[in-house]
Amino acid sequence: MTRDVTIDRLGAQGDGIVETGRAPLFVPFTLPGESVRADLFDGEKRGTPLEILKASPERVTPPCPHFGACGGCELQHASPAFYAEFKRAIVVEALSRHGIETEVAPLVPCAPGTRRRVTLTAVRADPKVLIGFHEAHSDRIVPIGPCPVAMPGIVEALPSLEKLALLLIDRKKPLKLTVTQTAAGLDIAAHDAAKLNEERQRQAVQHALSAGYARLSSQGEILVQARKPHVFFGDIAVEPPSGGFLQAVTAAEDAMADLVMAHLAKSKRVADLFAGSGAFALRLARKARVHAVESEADALAALDGASRLAQGLKPLTMERRDLYRRPLTFKELKAYDGVVFDPPRAGAEAVCEALAKSVVKRVAAVSCNPQTLARDLRTLIDGGYTLLSVTPIDQFLWSHHVEAVALLERQR
C-alpha cells in the first residue's frame, strides 16, 4: 500500500516517525517536516520512502552511493548541525526519563574516513562471494566499494578481503571478518569460518602474506602473524587480542580519555572497571596507581604485555573478574579515590549500586548506551554523587549510536 505521509519526528534509531493516532509508522531516511510517498508494510507499521514530495531544509546529499541500501548509516541525509543536535538529544532524553536535568555538552564530532575497525559479512554467490554490510532491517548483504566512514587502508583492502573470504567461507553460513587498521597493517579475525584443511590453510596464509596483512586469525586461532598489530593508547603500544574489543575511532577514544584523565587528575589510586586492554588504565598509570578489572583473559594479557614494556608507569595491577556477578565491595572500594568504568551496552548496574554506598571521591562513567548510562547515573546521584558534566561523543558516524562520558564527584 502506498500513502503520502508527513514525518513528525525522528526516533531514537534515526527513523522518521509518523504519528497515526494508532501505532507509529516508521519511515527510514527521512527528516521531520518532510512529505514523503511511502510503500507501507508490516501491518502499516513500517514504510519504504519512494519519493520525497517536500524536502526538509536540513536535507543534504548523502556522500555514499550505498546510502539507503546499506544498513550501516541511517543519517547521511541530515545536515551536520541537525545530526549533531539529534545525537545530543538522545542523551538528553535518556537522562530526562530518569529525572536527571543537567546541561549536556555539544556532541564531540567524528570525521569521515577514521573508523579503524569494521565488521564485514561475506556470503556465497557462486562462484564468488559478496562482501559488505547488511541491508537495513534485512539479512541481505550490500556489497560495498567506497565507504566514507572507514579508514582508507580498509577500503583499499576490500578486493583482497573478498579473495580471503572465498578461502575461508563455510558453505552453509555467512562469514564475519573483523578488520582493524593497526600501525603495522590490517589485523583480520574471521568468525564462523569453514574448518580449514591443510591446503586451504596454506592458501589463506599465503594470501595474508602477499596482501601484507599484519595478522590473520580464524576461529580464535592465529594462522599467521607477519608483524605485531600494535595500536596506541596515548603513547603506549598495545597488541590487542584478535577480534577483541577496541574503540572504533582513535579520535573518539582520545576524547573520552582526555575527559577521564582531567577528572581523575588528582586521584592517587584509581580502579578501572571493565578495563579491556587498557585504553584508560595505561593512560591513568602515568599519574596514579591503577587497578584494572576485566573479565576477558585475552584483554588482560594484552594490557599486561603493554604495561611491562611501557616506561614511566606507576604500579598497575590487574584482576580477572566478572563485575556483573562480583562487583567490587564497599571494603574493596575504600582503597580508591577515583573510579572509571566503561561497560558493555548492558551498563554497570551492580557496580553503581556498590559505588553509591562507597566513599570514592570521583567517578568517570563511560558508556555506549545512553539508556543504561542514565539508569546508572540515577543510582549514583541517589547515593550522594553530584553530576558535574555529560559529554556525548560521536564514534559511529551517521548512525544513531552515541557514546557519552559523565563525570561525578562525591561532596564531603
Query: pLDDT at position 338, please?
Result: 98
Go through the chain and tell me how many residues it has. Answer: 412
Q: What dihedral angle (degrees, nearest 10) is formed by the CA atoms of 201, 202, 205, 206?
A: -150
The reported pLDDT for the residue numbered 140 is: 87
Q: Is 308 exposed, middle or buried (0-12, 13-18, 19+ CB in 10 A)?
A: exposed
Q: To 10 degrees, the CA torsion angle through 140, 146, 151, 156?
A: 100
| Per annotation, catalytic residue among 64, 70, 147, 368 | 368
Q: Please give the Cα distance from 139 to 123 (Å, whole number).
A: 10
Q: Which CATH class is domain 86-110+249-410?
A: alpha beta
Say yes or no: do domains 86-110+249-410 and 117-231 share a fold.
Answer: no
**Please, what's the largest Cα pairwise distance for the chain?**
69
Question: Which residue ranges are tagged as binding site for S-adenosyl-L-methionine?
Answer: 247, 274, 294, 342
d(C-alpha 231, C-alpha 363), whole Å: 26
Extract the annotated binding site. Answer: 247, 274, 294, 342
Contact in structure between 129 and 138 (CB atoms under 8 Å): no
Q: What is the mean pLDDT of residues 127-147?
A: 86
Taking the model in full, what pTM does it have? Answer: 0.94
Query: Grid coordinates in use for 288?
Result: 596514579
Q: What is the pLDDT of residues 177-219, one digit of tens each?
A: 999 999 999 999 999 999 999 999 999 999 999 999 999 999 9
Q: How confident is the model at residue 42 (pLDDT cuts 50, 70, 90)?
A: confident
Catalytic residue at 352?
no
CATH superfamily of 2-59: Nucleic acid-binding proteins (2.40.50.140)
Pairing label, strands 289-294, 316-320? parallel
Distance CA 138, CA 71 (A): 8
Measured distance CA(281)–CA(287) in Å, rounded: 10
Q: Does residue 174 have a cis peptide bond before it, meaning omega lies within 30 degrees of 0? A: no
Give the number of other Cβ atoms within 10 Å of residue 196's Cβ: 19
Multiple choice CATH, 117-231, 3.40.50.720, 3.90.79.10, 3.90.180.10, 2.40.50.1070 = 2.40.50.1070
User: Quick one: pLDDT at residue 411?
Assistant: 84
**Where are the domains positioned within the chain?**
2-59, 86-110+249-410, 117-231
Sheet strands side by side (includes 35-41): 2-6, 35-41, 46-54, 25-27, 16-18, 9-10
pLDDT tens across 341-374, in order? 999 999 999 999 999 999 999 999 999 999 999 9
| β-bridge pairing 9-10 and 2-6 | unpaired
CA–chain centroid gap for 26, Å, is: 25
Q: How many Cα atoms within 13 Å fall on the side-chain side of residue 87?
A: 31
